[in-house]
Amino acid sequence: MVTEVIDDLDDGVNRLVEAMTAAGPGRTVALGGAGMSTESGIPDYRGPTGRANPATPMTVQDFLGSDQARQRYWARSFIGWRRIASARPNRGHFAVAQLERGGWLDHVITQNVDGLHQQAGAERVEELHGGLNRVICMSCRTVSPRDALDRRLQAANLHISPGSVADDVIKPDGDVDIDDGVIDSFQVVDCAACGSGPLKPDVIFFGENVPPERVSFCYSLVERSKLLVVLGSSLTVASGFRFVRRAADRGIPIVIANQGPTRGDPYATTKIELPLGQLLEAAGAELADAGDAERLGSGRGGLECSLGTVGRA
Ligand SMILES: NC(=O)c1ccc[n+]([C@@H]2O[C@H](COP(=O)([O-])OP(=O)(O)OC[C@H]3O[C@@H](n4cnc5c(N)ncnc54)[C@H](O)[C@@H]3O)[C@@H](O)[C@H]2O)c1
Ligand SMILES: [Zn+2]
């Protein structure tokens, strides 16, 4: 149970470093959220950046329910996608990748769909809610790159110039506000593999469940860890929060690094409220100075995942 909130940089870094050192090399799992990416210019939902421009994401039921809903989704996403695609990892993402390479971090379970951990060089990233850089056919289930779809959408919508129809404010899922006239004239394209199936981004929409094998894999990551570190998530969404509950049930210490309250606070052993880029960069530097985890001890060795990475839906 957390008793104090740490907002001093030196204290925060020391507490995070101590917790990861006590857990040992390769025994920390990170559970990340939208707060990891706000410093890359992608807003969250429930922090200051999200509250400034509230978003109501489309539910899967709406998306699957009508051609008009999909036309609306893809028109807005056609414009918003290039903003997400042009976002770059921030120093927090780079620090996480370095902690992984140094042998400190086992895996990152991310609730984000922006791919920025991977862009920063992290390899053991479990995308709990999928990734916006892929699309899936609702009929034949073929998964294909979003870039390829974008080229097809551009060819089908030569009358729309992406730079001129939207305001500058992007929503967390790559959605932007555009005029209804643009939406009405937008040409949606279907799956290139089967020729007719409707396409959906390969992300878990609100109202949709994470595939059970992905959830089980994440539970197994948490259960074999000696420390769970939450990075920038309000844990409002049950899909991420359940891993905090599981860690607490197993007596695994939980460090929550998040500016602002989270639903996991009652379960946290340590709560740190600092900007993540600053905190992670400094903690990463200290752990690197201490010698990488392989030299310190056992390394990940026997922890190497026997389950493999869960395949994408
Ligand atoms: N980048 C993305 O891919 C993205 C962005 C927004 C939302 N989402 C999706 O929406 C859901 C949102 O849930 P969530 O819990 O991840 O987000 P959330 O918006 O509920 O919570 C984010 C938390 O991070 C904190 N925060 C923001 N910037 C921070 C910083 N620099 N340092 C420290 N803390 C910071 C905020 O105060 C807030 O408490 C997720 O399931 C995710 O799939 C994805
Ligand atoms: Zn198809």
Each residue's pLDDT expressed in tens, for the chain with a length of 313 residues: 666 899 999 999 999 999 999 999 999 999 999 999 999 999 888 777 666 666 678 899 999 999 999 999 999 999 888 888 999 999 999 999 999 999 999 999 999 999 999 999 999 999 999 999 999 999 999 999 999 999 999 999 998 877 665 556 777 777 777 778 888 999 999 999 999 999 999 999 999 999 999 999 999 999 999 999 999 999 999 999 999 999 999 999 999 999 999 999 999 999 999 999 999 999 999 999 876 665 555 444 333 332 233 222 2
The structural domains of the chain, with segments of one domain joined by +, span: 5-42+89-129+209-293, 52-86+132-203
Measured CA to CA, the distance from residue 282 to residue 95 in angstroms comes to: 8
* 250 phi, psi to nearest 5 deg: -90, 5
Model confidence, pTM:
0.90
DSSP 210: P
Please identify, in words, the CATH class of the domain defined by 5-42+89-129+209-293: alpha beta
**Atom nearest to 258 CA in ligand 1:** 34
CB environment 252-266: b (16+ within 10 A), e (fewer): bbbbbbbbeebbbbe
> Which amino acid would we find at residue 182?
V
Q: Is the CB of 172 under 6 A from ligand 1?
A: yes
Q: What's the gap in Å between 119 CA and the centre of ligand 2?
A: 28
Q: Is the CB of 259 under 6 A from ligand 1?
A: yes
Q: Is the CB of 40 under 6 A from ligand 1?
A: no
Residue nearest ligand 1's atom 3 by CA: 112
